[in-house]
């Protein structure tokens, strides 16, 4: 059983609009194979039903999950490395100067996917900050229960650890677990994973010193983008730092942030009194 | 500015695949079927910026090659990246201790090679900056 | 009443090398093989775990693992499949005319990639041999072989991790 042409076209247009990736004709079977698990999780029996459900009542979460299922084979560690360089070169020294040695640093990886981002942050901090394990809490959230469970497990396939993870970090922070690799227990203890829908009122968390909210806003319309940024700001410390995806900005969306250039990337900080 | 890579693997299919990826990124490449052949290329005076090195090869294996390159100060600037199906934790530690800079486990995708070169600052457009 | 002859069986039972069927499950082996295909052959090149009979004319490639567990990792498929697999592996870098040596080399390299990853799952330290290719793979122990049979592009292919035929136990069988 294959996807009808109309439904396949709808998926192609969606993926092209959101990711600029072109799905060639003839890839119907690939769309089927990648989307079937998502359809099943939603309690639907096949991909046709999934497409019909999302077409008739568009929901950004499901749209994002469809796009991610079709575009991300493996997420890279240090994806777009600059926001991580900025963390250790600028943000961490600034926070260390501003906070007492006993204060915990709280970091939020919103939309953590399978866990590469929160564990990248954990590895960097463990290497850069003595005693990081007892001084840093990383909250990793995702809309998808499956992704939250994967993040919690901290297990990655051979192909996943091959993607942009420096070999010295692999051997220092991972052990083999069968055909996969498992993050060291110390790093896993730094990371708390939970489900969270950014487009709905947020649970009580934080206050966060640093927030990574990357490649999420692009899926939402302007009012929702504004609402998300407002709710995120409410969970941040007044002198906190926000990192967005390379193609995202607060400019023209929410004017209560100031943009700080950090090398080849930018961070955003809450404007005082805004 | 040209960036040069020496692709060392006893499988000609694997040499073609790795060479194809590197040339697509703008590298000038040469190939060797084992460590001794690779040392011969270096002794000829063709000094690469990068060597991609398989581990298990006839005549001279990849680890012996890494040791030989690291023993010669003239080749200090050469970046050594293992590309091998040897994938135990201990094997990666051994290769890094011998002086390899990076380690790609087979099987890999073109993206994995590109990501590692980005980490090493060896993507040609960045090298040229 | 004569005392039972010491066959050494008890001693040998405790010294017997670990069995691969206890060390490696079929799902792990399938995952290892599928990752090799998806990364190297192509991102859509799935292996479907459906057993089908191999054709009469097959090619095999294998690598030896020597360590706490000793044996071979063997790939077997039809000769035509081996040629198609070589073209798919080389993609745009495939030569216009495929030589037998190209096919042997490609099949051998796939055995090396699968073998290296199988070795990492088994107790170590072990040494991986260089790949070999032939129409007939080395004989394996029937009792201690982990095999997955899959379809690639609808064509049958098997991946086996096998203890050698001449294990201590089988040597006890009088010739």
Give the ipTM of the model, two decimals please: 0.94
CA C67, CA C145: separation in Å to the nearest integer? 17
List the pLDDT tens digit at each of the 175 positions of chain C. Answer: 445 455 444 445 556 778 999 999 999 999 999 999 999 998 888 898 888 999 999 999 999 999 999 999 999 999 999 999 999 999 988 888 999 999 999 999 999 999 999 999 999 899 999 999 999 888 998 888 999 999 999 999 999 999 998 654 544 444 4
Interface test with C, best of B13, B62, B112 (most C CBs within 10 A): B13
Nearest CB partner across the interface for B92, out of A81, A163, A170: A170
pLDDT (0 to 100) of residue A21: 67
Question: Which domains, ranges and CATH numbers included, belong to chain A?
Answer: 5-71 (1.10.155.10), 82-270 (3.40.50.150)
Rounded to a whole number of angstroms, the distance from the CA of A244 to the nearest CA of chain C is 29
Could you give the CA distance from residue A81 to residue A115 in angstroms, rounded to a whole number?
16
Domain boundaries, chain B: 3-120
Quote the CA–CA distance of B7 and A266 in Å, as a whole number.
Answer: 37
Interface of A with C in 96-155 (CB under 8 A): none
| CB-CB contact of C93 with B14 (8 Å) | no
**Alpha-carbon gap, residue C101 to C117, rounded angstroms:** 24
Report the alpha-carbon distance of residue A228 to residue A222 in Å, rounded.
10
CB C160 within 8 A of CB C67: no
Beta bridge partners of A262: A265
Which runs of E-coded beta strand occur in chain C?
A: 58-66, 71-78, 127-128, 132-134, 140-152, 155-164
Residue A120 has pLDDT above 60, yes or no: yes
C45: three-class secondary structure by DSSP: coil
Size of chain A, expressed as the number of residues it contains? 274
Distance from CA of B120 to the nearest CA of A (A): 9
Tell if the pTM clears 0.95, that is, is over it.
no
Inside any domain, residue C44: yes
Q: Which of B17, B60, B106 to mutate to test the interface with C (most CBs of C within 10 A)?
A: B106
Cα distance from C87 to chain B (closest Cα, Å)?
A: 10
Is 70 exceeded by the pLDDT of residue B66? yes
Overall average pLDDT of the A4-25 stretch: 81
Contact B90 C115 (CB under 8 A): no
Residue C145 lies in a domain: yes
Query: Using an 8 Å Cβ cutoff, are B25 and B53 in contact?
Result: no
Provide the mean pLDDT of chain B. 94
Sign of the Cα torsion C97, C100, C105, C108 reads positive
CATH number attached to the domain at B3-120: 3.40.50.2300
Query: Scanning the structure block, which residue is given the tokens 């969306």?
Result: A253
As a 3-state breakdown, chain B gives helix, strand, coil percent values, each rounded to 5, of 45, 20, 35
CB of B82 within 8 A of CB of B55?
Answer: yes
What confidence tens digit (pLDDT) does each residue in C58-96 have? Answer: 999 999 999 999 999 999 999 999 999 999 999 988 888
Q: How far apart are CA C111 and CA C105, in angstroms?
A: 10
Domain that includes residue C104, residue range: 19-171
A40/C107 Cα distance (integer angstroms): 37
B24–C contact, CB cutoff 8 A: no
In which band, very low, low, confident or very high, does the pLDDT at A133 lie, cut at 50, 70 and 90?
confident
A80 classed as catalytic: no
Residues near B73 by beta carbon (within 8 Å), at least 6 away in sequence: none
Q: Give mean pLDDT, residues B106-117.
A: 94
**Spatial distance between the Cα atoms of A73 and A181, rounded to a whole number of angstroms:** 17
- Section B44-71 average pLDDT: 97
Domain count, chain C: 1
The verdict on residue C141 lying in a domain is yes
> B13: which DSSP letter?
H
Q: Which residue has the higher pLDDT, C48 or A243?
A: A243
- Domain with residue C142: its CATH number is 3.40.1550.10
Question: Per the structure block, which two tokens stand in for A231?
Answer: 């709710």
Percent of chain B whose predicted confidence (pLDDT) is above 90 = 91
Q: Which of B28, B21, B80 is nearest to B54 (CA)?
A: B80
Instruction: Decide if C40 is inside a domain.
Output: yes
Nearest CA in chain B to C33: B107
Asked if residues B62 and B54 have their Cβ atoms less than 8 Å apart, the reply is yes
- Does residue C75 belong to any structural domain of this protein? yes
Task: Give me the residue from A29, A73, A179 closest to C43, CB to CB.
Answer: A73
A57 versus B16: the higher-pLDDT residue is: B16
Q: Chain C residues with CB-CB distance to B under 8 A?
A: 35-36, 38-40, 43, 86, 89-93, 101-102, 105-106, 108-109, 112-117, 119-120, 124-125, 128-131
End-to-end CA gap in chain A: 55
Place of tokens 């206050």: A207
Distance in angstroms between the alpha carbons of the first and the last residue of chain C: 28
Residue B38 is predicted with a pLDDT of 98
Q: Which of A26-40, A221-235, C54-68 is predicted with the least confidence, judged by mean pLDDT? A: A26-40
Residue C92 DSSP class? G
Note if A34 is an active site residue.
yes
Closest Cβ–Cβ partner in B20, B58, B87 for C116: B87
Q: What is the pLDDT of residues A250-264, one digit of tens each?
A: 999 999 999 999 988
């Amino acid at each position: 059983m294959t996807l009808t042409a109309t439904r396949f076209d709808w998926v192609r247009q969606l993926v092209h609009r959101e990711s600029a990736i072109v799905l060639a004709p003839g890839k119907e079977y690939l769309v089927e194979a990648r989307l079937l698990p998502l359809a099943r999780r939603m309690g639907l029996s096949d991909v046709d039903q999934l497409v019909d459900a999302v077409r008739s009542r568009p929901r950004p979460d499901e749209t994002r999950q469809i796009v991610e299922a079709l575009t991300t084979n493996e997420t890279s560690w240090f994806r777009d490395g600059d926001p991580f360089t900025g963390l250790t070169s600028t943000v961490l020294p600034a926070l260390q100067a501003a906070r007492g040695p006993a204060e915990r640093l709280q970091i939020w990886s919103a939309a953590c996917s399978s866990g590469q981002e929160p564990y990248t942050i954990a590895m960097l901090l463990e290497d850069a900050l003595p005693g990081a394990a007892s001084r840093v809490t990383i909250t990793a959230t995702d809309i998808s229960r499956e992704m939250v469970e994967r993040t919690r497990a901290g297990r990655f396939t051979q192909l996943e650890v091959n993607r942009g993870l420096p070999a010295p970090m692999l051997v220092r922070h991972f052990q083999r677990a069968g055909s996969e690799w498992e993050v060291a227990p110390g790093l896993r203890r730094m990371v708390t994973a939970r489900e969270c829908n950014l487009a709905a009122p947020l649970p009580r968390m934080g206050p966060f010193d640093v927030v990574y909210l990357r490649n999420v806003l692009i899926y939402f319309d302007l009012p929702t983008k504004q609402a998300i940024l407002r709710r995120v700001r409410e969970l941040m410390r007044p002198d906190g730092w926000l990192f967005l995806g390379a193609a995202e900005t607060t400019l023209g969306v929410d004017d209560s942030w100031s943009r700080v250039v950090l090398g080849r990337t930018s961070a955003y900080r809450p404007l005082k009194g805004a | 500015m040209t960036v040069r890579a020496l692709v060392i693997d006893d499988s000609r299919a694997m040499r073609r695949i790795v060479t194809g990826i590197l040339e697509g990124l703008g590298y000038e490449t040469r190939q060797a079927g084992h460590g001794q052949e690779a040392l011969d290329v270096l002794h000829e005076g063709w000094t690469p910026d990068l060597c991609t090195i398989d581990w298990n090869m006839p005549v001279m294996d990849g680890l012996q090659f890494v040791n030989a390159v690291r023993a010669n100060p003239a080749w200090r600037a050469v970046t050594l990246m293992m590309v091998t199906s040897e994938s135990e934790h201990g094997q990666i530690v051994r290769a890094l201790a011998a002086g390899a800079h990076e380690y790609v486990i087979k099987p890999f995708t073109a993206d994995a090679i590109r990501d590692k070169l980005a980490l090493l600052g060896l993507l040609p457009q960045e090298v040229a900056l | 009443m004569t005392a039972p002859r010491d066959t050494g069986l008890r001693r040998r039972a405790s010294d017997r090398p670990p069995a691969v069927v206890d060390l490696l499950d079929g799902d792990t082996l399938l995952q290892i093989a599928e990752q090799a295909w998806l990364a190297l052959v192509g991102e859509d090149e799935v292996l479907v775990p459906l057993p089908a009979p191999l054709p009469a004319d097959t090619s095999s490639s294998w690598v030896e693992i020597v360590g706490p567990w000793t044996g071979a990792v063997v790939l077997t498929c039809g000769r035509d499949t081996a040629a198609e697999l070589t073209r798919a592996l080389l993609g745009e870098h495939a030569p216009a005319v495929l030589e037998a040596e190209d096919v042997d080399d490609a099949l051998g390299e796939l055995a090396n990639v699968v073998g290296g990853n199988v070795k990492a799952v088994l107790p170590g330290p072990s040494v991986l041999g260089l790949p070999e290719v032939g129409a007939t793979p080395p004989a394996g122990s029937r009792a201690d072989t982990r095999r997955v049979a899959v379809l690639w592009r609808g064509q049958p292919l098997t991946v086996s991790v096998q203890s050698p035929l001449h294990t201590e136990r089988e040597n006890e069988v009088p010739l």
